Amino acid sequence: MTIAWQREEAEKRIGELLDAAINYGPQEIEDAHGVFKIVFEKRKATLQELFSEPGPLSEDDA
């Protein structure tokens, strides 16, 4: 759900704007000269992070 914010309001409520991008998808900030698009992209885990967490065990492993 994209929400169109006015620039002045977005500047005052930056935290809410960023949270909305995380929770609801891309947000747009309307300016007199155009539109800013705010998109949140989740950081991908490194291989070290992936292998540092325990994985599921099958019945044979128990």
- pTM for the model stands at 0.67
Span 36-48, pLDDT tens digits = 999 999 988 888 8
Span 17-26, pLDDT tens digits = 999 999 999 9
Q: Has residue 62 got a pLDDT over 60?
A: no
Q: Which two tokens stand for residue 54?
A: 């325990």
For residues 47-59, b (16+ Cβ closer than 10 Å) or e, as one string? eeeeeeeeeeeee
What is the share, in percent, of the chain residues with pLDDT greater than 70? 92
Domains along the chain with CATH numbers: 4-52 (3.40.1620.10)
> What confidence score (pLDDT) does residue 14 get?
97
> What confidence score (pLDDT) does residue 30 get?
97
